[in-house]
Amino acid sequence: MTEPESLLTVGEIARRLRQPLHRVEYVFRDADLVRVASELKRIDRERDASLANRMVKEDEFDGI
């Protein structure tokens, strides 16, 4: 008989990914850790791109 997969708590996922607790909301299986890390990186990239776009637009207005 195989052992059941262990569940990870929100705190454990946050600790393993070195992220604030509020960025992880649910309980996941150990196998989900890679997917959660990937999604957090995607969110960060989108946020960084959005911030960069806003900064470019602000610089355009400064030259007027």
Q: Give mean pLDDT in consecutive 10-residue pieces for the chain, a chain of 64 residues.
A: 75 93 82 90 89 78 62
Q: What is the pTM of this model?
A: 0.53
Tokens in use for 23?
């960025």
> Per the domain annotation, does 1 fall within a domain?
no
> Per the domain annotation, does 2 fall within a domain?
no
CB atoms within 10 A of CB 24: 22
Long-range pairs for 39-47: beta carbons < 8 A, 24 or more residues apart: none
Instruction: Please give the pLDDT value at position 18.
Output: 94
**Domain limits for position 56:** 7-62
Number of structural domains in the chain: 1
State the Cα–Cα distance between residues 7 and 14, nearest whole angstrom: 14
> Per the domain annotation, does 52 fall within a domain?
yes
> Per the domain annotation, does 50 fall within a domain?
yes
